[in-house]
Amino acid sequence: MKAEKLDSRRAYAGRLLKVDIDTVRMPNGKKVELEMVRHPGAAAVVPLLSEPDSEDPQVLLLRQYRYAAGGMIWEIPAGVLEAGEDPAACASRELREETGAEARHIQHLTTIYTTPGFTDERIHIFLATGITAGPADLQPDEMIEVRALPLSRVLEMIRDGEIVDGKSIAALLYVAGFRLDL
């Protein structure tokens, strides 16, 4: 089952996002107009400072200022794909820029749609291990504190609503549920 795009017009084009108005024939035959936010995609990474098989692995988290959220929120390192960039390279780059860390191993875990009701944004999620420290290289709009926390504490933070970022929740729960034997 697939919709057929009949027409598309660009309503907005910005530095990062584009908004299109698509005229679509839905799989049920009905014709509708849909507002679509076009996004180049992103990569996010769960950096484990200790071995994945350790009793309670340490996770490197960011506490980052987000204007849209109205303040500081907890996140995993992530960023937008550059044109033609491999998602694993993006994950490594963002890890290095935002935390200063380098990873010996980057493993793809899954790819998610952030909000498929109105955007085509996909985030490729990775697990990073074999971490070594280095200097961060923050962008002018980035205000970031880096903190290492035990995964058990991170899961409590998700449960208690301290971590509210969707990509981070999905990635951390994926790691806890499918990659680690907790």
How, if at all, do strands 4-13 and 42-47 pair?
Answer: unpaired
* Cα–Cα nearest to 100, from 58, 53, 148, 141: 148
How far apart are the C-alpha atoms of 63 and 165, rounded to whole Å? 11
Length of the chain: 182
Helix axes 166-174, 151-159, angle to 10 degrees: 130
Count of beta carbons in the 10 Å neighbourhood of residue 102: 15
Give me the active site residues, please.
142
Cβ atoms of 23 and 5 within 8 Å: the answer is: yes
